[in-house]
Amino acid sequence: MNRGILQTMANPNDKQLLSQIASNQKRQRGGLILTPILFFIAMGIIMAGISTIQSGNTALGICIILVGIVAFILSAKYLEHLSDQKNKMKELVGQSVVREILAERIAIEQYNPNQYFNRDFLEHCSILPNYDRSSGSDYISGTYRGVPITYCDLHLEVEQESTDSDGNTTTSYYTVFRGPVINLALRQPLTGYVRIRERKNPRKEKGFFSGIVNGAADLFNIDRNTVETENAQFNQQFKVDASDPQLAFYVLTPQFMEHIVQADMIVNGYTNIEFNQGIVTLALNNGTDAFELGKYKKNDQFLEEARQRFRYELNSILGIVDEMLTKENLF
């Protein structure tokens, strides 16, 4: 969309909002600079205090260490402040900009920019990989095309410990899932489950996926109830497990399998789907985090350009949902 059209569409409240965004991001940048400086100063003071004690001046060394501890606490406080500023920015943009975009296509009941699905759901969702640390955003609850829907952006990581030649242990985290998770309510509950998990695909092991284990069926616990469909190409791309083979064939009609393949093309990542009782869950491991503002640029059309990007992201997400809703006997 050209800048002339964007100019005519500009929201009259954007000027004030842009001022708030600029101020918030300036504080964030200050925190990013000051926090590591305080941390290294604190560590330096503490090391100096230890050295002073070792040289025989215990009282002075303890005083120096106490000063270092105070500096360390200050750096931790600045880090907490930085996180708080980031959350405030997310809430501001979410409620002022993202919410109005969502409302164009979804009847919103609840929208929380800084929240995501609760731990109980994450731990019981069979198409999500095991994880040690989770984060997320943009929790949405509402109705789309008459179907109850919930959504969030989710990031899951696993902990990995490594030990060097001196015996020092380092803990790090690496991503096993990053992308949207969507729940859709079925019109009538099923009597069991059907899980469709995409197999590892060498063509997709690039970019985001080159740095993680993978987003495919290999990450999950092995299910002994594997079902082979009549579509050999579908079987090659997806692993299907079901509590009852007949239930799998009821859900996975030839036409619906084509729609799943079409949805996967939109995802541009790994597609995992679970039909379980009265809910369909889509876990789309594509390395994305939708509805994020990004770095502020001094541009009068910055927010309007963000709105267009958010609309594109929403349309892509709902395009995947639309492929699911073609299964009219379920929704």
Tens digit of each residue's pLDDT, the chain (331 residues): 444 434 434 454 777 777 777 777 666 666 667 677 777 887 888 888 888 888 888 888 888 888 888 877 877 776 776 777 788 889 988 999 999 999 999 999 999 999 999 999 999 999 999 999 999 999 999 999 999 999 999 999 999 888 877 777 888 899 999 999 999 999 989 999 999 999 877 666 555 554 454 444 454 545 568 899 989 889 999 999 999 999 999 999 999 999 999 999 888 889 999 999 999 999 999 999 999 987 766 666 888 888 999 999 999 999 999 999 998 888 8
d(CA 110, CA 100): 13
**CB count in 10 Å sphere of residue 44:** 12
Give tens-digit pLDDT for 287-304.
Answer: 999 999 877 666 668 888
Tell me, what's the pLDDT at 216?
A: 47
Maximal C-alpha separation, the chain: 82
Half-sphere exposure of 312 (CA within 13 A, CB side): 8
Tell me, what's the pLDDT at 213?
A: 46
Judge whether 238 and 198 are in contact, CB under 8 Å: yes
- Find the helix or strand (DSSP H, E) in which 107 lies: strand 107-112
pTM: 0.78
Give tens-digit pLDDT for 108-125.
Answer: 999 999 999 999 999 999
Burial class of residue 268, CB neighbours in 10 A (0-12, 13-18, 19+): middle
Q: What is the signed CA dihedral for 310, 9, 111, 325, rounded to 10 degrees?
A: -60
Q: Which residues pair with 270 in a beta bridge?
A: 285
d(CA 323, CA 331): 12
Tell me, what's the pLDDT at 303?
A: 85
Task: Single out the residue of 197, 188, 182 nearest to residue 280, CA to CA.
Answer: 182
Judge whether 81 and 62 are in contact, CB under 8 Å: no
Tell me, what's the pLDDT at 5?
A: 39
d(CA 294, CA 275): 35
DSSP-derived letter for residue 144 is E
Tell me, what's the pLDDT at 279?
A: 95
298: three-class secondary structure by DSSP: coil
Task: Single out the residue of 285, 327, 307 nearest to residue 100, CA to CA.
Answer: 307
Tell me, what's the pLDDT at 3?
A: 42
- Classify residue 185 as left (phi > 0), alpha (psi -120 to 50) or beta: beta
Tell me, what's the pLDDT at 30?
A: 64
Tell me, what's the pLDDT at 27?
A: 67
Tell me, what's the pLDDT at 1?
A: 43
Amino acid at 151: Y
d(CA 243, CA 126): 13
- 190-204: burial string, b at 16+ Cβ within 10 Å, e else: beebbbbbbeebeeb
- 193-198 vs 279-285, strand pairing mode: unpaired
Tell me, what's the pLDDT at 60?
A: 85
